[in-house]
């Protein structure tokens, strides 16, 4: 029963279904395809709100570095990085890289892409 918390800026996109993936640090008990995902915003606060439940479709290892992304061992083109950034709720790739630099530091080599 993996539960994921989303920052307020991503909550509407998750709730509406526009955002159907998340990039997270690998867990001790990994999320697996078929797991039921419970998606929230404001976890551990009085403002906690469940956004949705979905089944996990896929989990792929990834590495985010300055200006590059490797997904399942393959380096993505800049067009693919742009598409990944938008799918993950960012306006553009620069915002994507800035977010992960600030929150995880780069290279972020313990990442995984979880899709539902």
**What is the pLDDT, as a whole number, of residue 1?**
82
User: In terms of residue numbers, what domain contains 9?
Assistant: 3-115
* Helix residue spans in 60-104 (DSSP H): 78-87, 93-104
**pTM of structure:** 0.94
Sheet holding 36-41, edge to edge: 3-6, 36-41, 49-55
User: What is the per-residue pLDDT across 64-110, written as a single tens digit (0 to 9) for each?
Assistant: 999 999 999 999 999 999 999 999 999 999 999 999 999 999 999 99
Q: CATH no. for residue 72?
A: 2.30.130.30
């Amino acid at each position: 029963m993996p539960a994921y918390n989303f920052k307020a800026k991503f909550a509407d996109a998750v709730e509406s279904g526009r955002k159907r993936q998340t990039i997270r640090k690998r867990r001790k008990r990994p999320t697996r395809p078929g797991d039921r995902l419970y998606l929230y915003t404001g976890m551990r606060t009085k403002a906690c709100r469940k956004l949705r439940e979905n089944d996990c479709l896929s989990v792929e290892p990834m590495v985010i570095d300055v200006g590059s992304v490797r997904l399942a061992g393959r380096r993505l083109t800049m067009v693919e990085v742009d598409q990944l950034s938008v799918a993950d709720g960012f306006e553009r790739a620069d915002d994507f890289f800035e977010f992960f630099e600030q929150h995880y530091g780069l290279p972020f080599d313990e990442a995984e892409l979880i899709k539902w």
